[in-house]
Amino acid sequence: MTSGRLLVDTATITGRNLRRLVRVPTLIAFATVQPVLFVLLFTYAFGGAIHPPGVDRYIDYILPGTWILAIAFGASQTGVALADDLATGMIDRFRALPTARAAVLAGRVTADAVRNLFVLTLMTGLAATIGFRFHAGPLAALAAIGLAIGVGIVFSWIFALLGLLVRDPESAGIGGLLAVIPLIFTSSTFVPVATFPGWLQAFAEVNPITVTVDALRCLCLGGPTATPVLKAAGWLAVLLAVTVPAAVHRYRRVTAA
């Protein structure tokens, strides 16, 4: 199978997944309403009580965290969708076609990346109306969006692997949330790590969510960015190096059964 064929098949399956998103109202609602609620609820529920050092407005601090929160919750649907395709026989149909096997996974992840770009744009536009501003210039802002999309790609591969392992849509959804929630709430998503108990700070500081959220904040708020961004990119590269081969291997085993 040539790389050109893989790209064509990936684009075809990406289009199929995006069309499904547009045609199902509940999926559109999940992709748009939830991120909007994240921005509004966290800003107005906690903004008056939490004052992170060096930040004038809580919306400037919380937006990068809500980006990751929305992306993580949205990525859990990757596993659900793949498990559903397995349960309904859609994967069997793909297997009967002269389609590159990796294209099924790559198309799913690419469609999620497009959805995430839309979600991030929506959230940032809303945040701008209630006071959010990028303080480090347009290039840093674009880098922040790119890094957030990269985080989404990693989450999508993780949840794709989970969906292929459990092969049940409900279990994939629940398992995804159980994996994400502890990591998010033991990170700097909502409050500085310094406010955590000492025993929790050690974990929170190396939590990949903390590392990526801190890098996003540096890109959004200004300040030294090289070290935080390199640390975040390193985490993402390691996670991709583990999850992509594992997901592809699992997919081949499932489709060969």
At 257 the pLDDT is: 59
- Within-domain flag for 1: no
With CA atoms as reference, report the closest residue to 162 among 235, 78, 241, 102: 78
- Within-domain flag for 123: yes
At 2 the pLDDT is: 64
How would you classify residue 222: left for phi > 0, otherwise alpha for psi between -120 and 50, otherwise beta? left
Stretches where the chain sits below pLDDT 70 are 1-3, 98, 257
With CA atoms as reference, report the closest residue to 149 among 131, 175, 124, 178: 124
CB atoms within 10 A of CB 168: 17
How far from chain centre, in Å, is Cα 115?
A: 10
At 181 the pLDDT is: 86
At 231 the pLDDT is: 94
- Within-domain flag for 135: yes
- Within-domain flag for 195: yes
Calculate the alpha carbon distances from 248 to 80, 142, 203 in Å: 17, 30, 30
Interval 127-163: pLDDT, tens: 999 888 898 889 999 999 999 999 999 999 999 998 8
- Within-domain flag for 85: yes
Interval 96-109: pLDDT, tens: 776 777 788 888 89
- Within-domain flag for 12: no
Number of structural domains in the chain: 1
CB atoms within 10 A of CB 74: 21
- Within-domain flag for 104: no
- Within-domain flag for 232: yes
Can you give the residue range of the structural domain that contains 188?
25-89+117-256
**Helix runs in the chain, H state only:** 3-23, 25-46, 58-88, 90-96, 101-129, 138-166, 169-185, 198-206, 208-221, 226-256
